[in-house]
Amino acid sequence: MHSLFPSVPVEPTAEKFALQPVSTEQAWYGPALAQRPAVWTHVLSEADCAELRDAIAAVESRGLDVVEIRAEDFRLPRLGGVLQAMRKDLLQGRGFSLVRGFPSEGLTALQRAIGFFGIGAHLGKAVSQNAKGHALGHVADLGFDYSQPTSRGYQTNVRLPYHTDAADVVGLLCVCTAKSGGMSSLVSSVTLYNEMLKRRPDLVRVLMGPTYRDRRGEIPPGKGPWYVLPVFNPHHGLMITSYVRSAIRKAQRFPEVPRISPALNEAMDLLDALAESPELHLDMNLEPGDLQFASNHFILHSRTTYEDHPEPERRRHLLRLWLSCEGGPALPRVFDNYTGLDGSGRPMGLLLDGVRLNAPLELEDGGPGASDLRVAAVASPAHSPS
Ligand SMILES: [Fe+2]
């Protein structure tokens, strides 16, 4: 369809493209990997932690702004090698890693932010995650009503079905766990493609066509309030996936956006059902001090609904990074429709006009702006400590 703003058209590759299963390391099955956690987990040793503390102290003493931290500012002579191997896995291999034992204890919020951001700098460049330019995101329940068009899931406590984020890699540092729930889960989107191909190749082709998605009020310069991007994007021998069903559903509020077809609904139902199959996904309980990094191109992530402790200071809280990774998988040009691609073809993040990249140390609303569509229930009786 004709767009009201500049947009890269979705090439109609679906009909002529010979569908083949993809049998790279990216096509993994959760139960097999659950048996071998050592393959995807690095437990920080005392020596690693000492190195991290030194690197944090060095950055703090220089007074560097957190968003300015580059890998060369955050020297990790020993752990750096581990992070480079992890980076290779993230971009070219399995697509995720877990690091356990980040030494949060005794660190100030600034020191914790420096440590997380510094580790992230060894993997990629942190980009903005929201309308406020947060390069260091805070994932916590701010009481927003997720059913509202401009609400984003990371600021709610609801279950987030399997989806992708906007950058090359998403990283989380668990600060506080919930009273109950909030389990993290990953699934290989390459495996989802393969499994769907076995069952319904016709629906795979539907997901290689255009899907229209709501930006939820976070509109980078030159972009419109919605964008178009296929779910499955075969490119240079890889299967690059991008999927946010809630954004596809919410885009229906725009009258010019084509209606979701019964075939697309069926395809998304099958994709969701496969992702939810215990034979495919890998569940992970993140504990304080755990860092999880996952590719958005080859992995969908989800989390279960959760209940917070009554005390606000004990609420579930994760720090988040969206990383743009030099040398990451080549992305089809149509990905420019999403957050935009930089000169190296990497995702640019959600940086809005006039907004400066920043790293809030404490939990802060990421916007977009003062929207009356995002119903804040923080002060309502339902969220008051009982
Ligand atoms: Fe996400």
State pLDDT tens for residues 52-88. Answer: 999 999 999 999 999 999 999 999 999 999 999 999 9
Q: Give CA angle at 136 (124, 174), nearest 5°.
A: 95
For 379, counting Cβ atoms within 10 Å of its Cβ (0-12 exposed, 13-18 middle, 19+ buried), the class is: exposed
CA 91 to ligand 1 center in whole angstroms: 18
Mean per-residue pLDDT over the chain, rounded:
91
Q: Of 244, 250, 215, whose CA–CA distance to 230 is shortest?
A: 244
Residue 299 has pLDDT above 90, yes or no: yes
Confidence class of residue 385 from pLDDT cuts 50, 70 and 90?
very low
Cβ proximity of 57 and 108 under 8 Å: no
Distance 161 CA to ligand 1 centre (A): 9
Percent of the chain clearing pLDDT 90 (strictly above):
76
Query: Is there a contact between 159 and 305 (Cβ–Cβ < 8 Å)?
Result: yes
Kind and range of the H or E element at 171? Answer: strand 169-176
145, 375 contact by CB (below 8 A): yes
CA–centroid distance, residue 46 to ligand 1 (Å): 31
52 CA to middle of ligand 1, Å?
27
CA of 151 relative to ligand 1 center, distance in Å: 13
From ligand 1's centre to the CA of 146, what distance in Å? 14
For ligand 1, the distance from its centroid to the CA atom of residue 119, given in whole angstroms, is: 20
User: 63 CA distance to ligand 1 centroid (A)?
Assistant: 31
